[in-house]
Amino acid sequence: MALDPRLIDAQLWLARALLSPVLDGVADLDGATLLRTEELIEQALASSPHYWKAHYARGQLLRAQGRFKDAIPHYETAIVSNRNAARAFTQLGWCKLAAGQVEEEVVELAEQAIRLDPCHPTVAIAYNLIATVRLYQSRQDEAIVWFEKAVHSNPRHPWGHFGLAIAYGLMDQRDHAVAELAEAQMLSDMFSSIVHCRAIRGEINTPASRERFENIVVAGLRKAGLSEK
């Protein structure tokens, strides 16, 4: 961008790099990051208002702000412009889950993402989405299958282990639950207590999904032996 500040892809890659720590849950969206990413994305949209990557980036920024419903039309626009945008299908599914949907439509979005790009490192996010839907549908045996796929795809991603701890806990398989919770805790300090887990900002814990979060996620974590504080 120093050589040519009008390069749209450079603007969007920079926005993505700034947002990644926030979306991964390892940093907060501070004011400076918000202003910079908004500026970059608006520049890209002004130059190319129908570019799918610009709408995808806008969706990511809205997700980082916890504005999941507002992000949905931007992911949908990205998909209309590029039917091969695998990650847009996945993120659209997560936003619909955040809105309280646990229907098969969400699973179908994740399955489409997997079909489009089964070898991409982020396919674990699609596996985790299907697993989370099954978890919230109280279909724990199926959830375990998909969380295992996520862990196999990316063992360094903590969410698969976290999900397995919940599912195994709900099925009263305490040894497995404790082991998976320990793996998640080694990969991230977000899972040190029930209080910390409740503070996680993300699609599994929104006003629309709060009841399921308490009755399923928190209940499973307690059975896995996670301390309250």
Q: Contact at 8 Å (CB) between 62 and 68?
A: yes
pTM, rounded to two decimals: 0.92
- Is the predicted pLDDT of residue 201 greater than 70, yes or no? no
Q: What average pLDDT does range 214-222 have in this prediction?
A: 96
- Is the predicted pLDDT of residue 128 greater than 90, yes or no? yes
List pLDDT tens digits, range 154-184.
998 899 999 999 999 999 999 999 999 999 9
- How much is the mean pLDDT over the chain? 94
Q: Contact at 8 Å (CB) between 140 and 111?
A: no
List pLDDT tens digits, range 50-84.
999 999 999 999 999 999 999 999 999 999 999 99
Residues 132-135: contacts with CB under 8 Å, at least 24 apart = 132/97, 132/163, 132/204, 133/97, 133/102, 133/106, 133/107, 135/163, 135/166, 135/167, 135/216, 135/217
- Is the predicted pLDDT of residue 3 greater than 70, yes or no? yes
pLDDT for residue 216: 96
pLDDT for residue 48: 95
